[in-house]
């Protein structure tokens, strides 16, 4: 609470009144729907009448329409000021009404109080009389009839929604252009027509919402996070926050979204290629660490699907950043031939407790207590692998291998396949004592077919060019087994989903390995 | 009612560039840029053949991006600019 030094507000007659007036003044801030304000307004009026000519009593009312109501209800003659915009309340940072400030003739605030404390109010009334040059303390107030104490009420400037609006209006941190809408505009139609959306409605990024979103991070709104392809546009924390609001995210998701933007724009992940490719790849986010529960991510039922706000909006926010800041628009630099529903959003948390192995993040060099996001560029799937019969690791790895052998096409060697094991399938590997590498090696072996069957032929044009045989040592190599995967590290294993079902999911990576590498980073603040 | 929203885009005004004036006839050197997509070489081989046949005065020079997945490295762009008068890029499949 800071006693105001200077302000101008209109009185009930609409005339502007400049604060401070000449001489001592008692300033009060009140609202109509507050019992304590209604208890104390007659006391302020009594002080006003007893000190008139020697001291001003000004009452700022937090709602314009309440001025006339209070004036009639309590037969008030002292000036009632219009603080409907709550500018004075905000600057003064009052959280309770009534709040009183008493200023002497030098405009120094000598006493202040909030709520109703009889002792303090008597002191202020007495001091007001003294400052007005009145002898005695007889303000005609029957103090004996008043209660000892009454708590005040919450000030309007701290009400939910209003507080954020005031902060946003006063904040000089937001630099984005304000887009004005006509009264006749439908906001959702307008935003779609401007090309701001992914086809679904978005949450309008008002100043209040963006300000509130920015409270989710400690980073400066104007900090440049990355240069966003394909337009190579600098992207600031504020721009990410705007798109996060549109995606439906909560402020506590913002650090995760910023991290995904940082990862996406690295040379190794290469979001430029991922979003431009005709093959229709998309960034898939996998989350590890305590943040999964802290922000309520889903790794149980429908973990890869709909229904969870964090999973859905974090991935969507990244896509909206790429669209609105990066300029990746389908038919423009987004050249996906067909794309897929996971290009809207695909983002989930690993069910670490259901995994017999270390998590994806730990495997990639992080601590179990680190909050980590990993982005993978995926174009194929999600495809279900159903195996309700296998009871040991060998059988299940064989099923996975057969399912994975046809990804992209049955002949071409593949890179980076994401295998999302259900807890039941993961449990089978755990009980069989299989490590991640055991699973990978078995899949490498089981997907190996003779080189000649990986070559293009007249009855299937896909596969490796025939002249590649020379690189393998000529005709003698035709029967050499060649795995579907170039390296076992290309098989990425994570666990997610609910228990009691033996279904897993595979997602095929995008084209050749170095095009986009799985990339991880710790989530910041 | 919402009356103002913050602009979610990068807000940069695109730089307007005019096309290089179209020449009356082919001359000098033509860069043939293969972006490393399958069969781009087949297309450019045939194009090169036709150019030599129908525009005997012009030279052709072949360039190739190291990967289809990323924009052309600056040295390739510089070389095309420095050594050639025209460029034909074989895009996509």
CATH of the domain at A102: 3.40.30.10
Higher pLDDT: B56 or A418? It is A418
Q: Which helix (H) or strand (E) holds A419?
A: strand A417-421
Residues A140 and A34 in one domain: yes
Residue of A nearest to B5 (CA): A206
C-beta atoms surrounding A338 within 10 Å: 9
| Shared domain check, A194 and A95 | no
Contact (CB<8Å) B7/A278: no
Residues A149 and A200 placed together within one structural domain of the fold: no
Radius of gyration of chain A (CA): 34
Burial zone of A297 (CB within 10 Å; 0-12 exposed, 13-18 middle, 19+ buried): buried
Q: What is the mean pLDDT of chain A?
A: 94
Query: In whole angstroms, how large is the CA radius of gyration of chain B?
Result: 19
The residues that bridge with A25 in the sheet, in sequence order, are: A56, A103
Any CB–CB contact under 8 A between A101 and chain B? no
Domain count, chain A: 2
Do the beta carbons of residue A376 and residue A284 sit within 8 Å?
yes
Distance of alpha carbon A195 from the chain centroid: 21
Residues A396 and A433 in one domain: yes
**How far is Cα of residue A427 from the mean position of the Cα atoms in its chain?**
34
> Contact at 8 Å (CB) between B6 and A210?
yes
Q: What is the pLDDT of residue A365?
A: 98
Residues shown for chain A: 525
A77-A120-A124 Cα angle (round to 5): 45
State how far the Cα of A220 lies from the Cα of A238, in Å rounded to an integer. 8
Question: Is A2 domain-assigned?
Answer: no
pLDDT for A481 equals: 95
Q: Looking at the partner chain, which of A205, A235, A325 has a beta carbon nearest the beta carbon of B5? A: A205
CB distance B10–A239 less than 8 Å?
yes
What is the number of helices (H) and of strands (E) in chain A? Answer: 17, 23
| Structure token pair of residue A172 | 């000089």
| Residues whose CB falls within 8 Å of the CB of residue B60, separated by 6 or more in sequence, listed in order | B29, B30, B31, B32, B48, B51, B52
- What is the reported pTM? 0.78
Is A166 among the domain residues? no
Instruction: Please say if the pLDDT value at position A300 is more than 70.
Output: yes
Nearest chain A residue to B72 by CA distance is A273
A433 C-beta neighbours (distance < 10 Å), count? 10
For A:393-422, CB contacts with B below 8 A are none
pLDDT at B18: 73
pLDDT digits (tens, 9 = 90+) for A365-417: 999 999 999 999 999 889 999 999 999 999 999 999 999 999 989 998 888 89
- Domain extent for A135: 7-159
Beta bridge partners, A384, equal A505
Kind of pairing between the strands at A347-349 and A7-10? unpaired
The answer to whether A525 touches A255, Cβ cutoff 8 Å, is yes
Q: Are B1 and A188 in contact (CB under 8 A)?
A: no
In 10 A of CB A370, how many CB atoms? 18
Lowest mean pLDDT, pick from A35-39, A129-133, A167-171, A194-198? A167-171
Contact at CB, B9 and A335, closer than 8 angstroms: no
The mean per-residue pLDDT over the stretch A29-47 comes to 96
Domain check: are A138 and A201 in the same one?
no
Model confidence at A184, pLDDT cuts 50, 70, 90, reads confident
A271 and A138 belong to one structural domain: no
């Amino acid at each position: 609470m800071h006693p105001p030094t200077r302000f101008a507000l209109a009185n009930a007659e609409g005339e502007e009144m400049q604060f401070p007036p000449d001489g001592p003044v008692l300033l009060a801030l009140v609202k109509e729907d507050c019992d304590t304000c209604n208890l104390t307004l007659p006391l302020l009026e009594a002080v006003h009448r007893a000190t008139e000519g020697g001291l001003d009593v000004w009452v700022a009312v937090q709602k314009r329409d309440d001025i006339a109501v209070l004036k009639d209800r309590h037969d008030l003659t002292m000036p009632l000021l219009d603080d409907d915009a709550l500018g004075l309340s905000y600057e003064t940072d009052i959280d309770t009404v009534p709040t009183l400030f008493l200023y002497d003739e030098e405009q120094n605030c000598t006493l202040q109080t909030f709520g109703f404390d009889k002792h303090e109010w008597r002191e202020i009334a007495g001091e007001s009389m003294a400052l007005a040059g009145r002898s005695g303390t007889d303000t005609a107030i029957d103090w004996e009839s008043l209660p000892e104490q009454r708590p005040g009420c919450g000030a309007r400037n701290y009400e939910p929604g209003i507080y954020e609006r005031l902060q946003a209006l006063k904040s000089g941190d937001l630099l984005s252009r304000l887009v004005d809408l006509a009264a006749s505009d439908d906001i959702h139609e307008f935003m779609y027509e401007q090309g701001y959306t992914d086809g679904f409605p978005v949450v309008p990024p008002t100043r209040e919402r963006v300000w509130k979103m920015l409270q989710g991070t400690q980073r400066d709104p104007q900090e440049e996070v990355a240069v966003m392809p394909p337009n190579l546009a600098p992207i600031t924390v504020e721009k990410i926050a705007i798109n996060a609001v549109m995606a439906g995210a909560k402020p506590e998701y913002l650090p995760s979204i910023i991290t995904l933007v940082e990862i996406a724009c690295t040379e190794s992940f290469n979001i430029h290629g991922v979003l431009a490719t005709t093959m229709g790849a998309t960034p898939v986010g996998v989350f590890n660490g305590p943040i999964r529960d802290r922000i309520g991510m889903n790794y149980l039922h429908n973990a890869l699907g709909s229904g969870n706000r964090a999973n859905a909006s974090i991935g969507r926010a990244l896509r909206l950043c790429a669209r609105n800041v990066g300029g990746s628009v389908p038919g423009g630099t987004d050249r996906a031939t067909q794309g897929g529903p996971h290009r809207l959003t695909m983002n989930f948390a690993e069910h670490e407790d259901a995994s017999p192995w270390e998590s994806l993040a730990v495997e990639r060099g992080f601590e179990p207590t680190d909050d980590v996001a990993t982005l993978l560029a995926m174009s194929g799937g999600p495809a279900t692998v159903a195996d309700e019969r296998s009871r040991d690791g060998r059988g299940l790895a064989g099923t996975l291998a057969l399912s994975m052998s046809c990804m992209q096409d049955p002949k071409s060697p593949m890179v980076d396949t994401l295998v999302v094991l259900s807890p039941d399938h993961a449990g089978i590997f755990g009980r069989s004592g299989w490590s991640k590498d055991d699973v990978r090696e078995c899949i490498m072996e089981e997907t190996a077919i003779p080189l000649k069957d990986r070559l293009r032929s007249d009855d299937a044009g896909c596969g490796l060019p025939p002249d590649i045989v020379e690189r393998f040592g000529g005709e003698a190599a035709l029967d050499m087994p060649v795995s579907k995967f170039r390296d076992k590290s290309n098989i990425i294993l994570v666990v997610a989903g609910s228990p009691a079902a033996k279904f897993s999911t595979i997602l095929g990576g995008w084209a050749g390995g170095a095009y986009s590498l799985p990339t991880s980073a710790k989530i910041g603040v | 009612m919402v009356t103002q929203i913050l602009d979610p885009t990068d807000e940069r005004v695109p730089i307007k560039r005019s096309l290089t004036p179209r020449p009356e006839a082919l001359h000098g050197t033509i860069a043939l840029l293969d972006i490393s997509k399958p069969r781009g070489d087949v297309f450019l081989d045939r194009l090169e053949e036709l150019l030599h046949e129908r525009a005997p005065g012009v030279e052709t020079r072949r360039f190739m991006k190291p990967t289809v997945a990323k924009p052309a490295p600056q040295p390739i762009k510089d070389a095309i600019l420095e050594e050639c008068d025209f460029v034909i890029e074989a895009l996509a499949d």
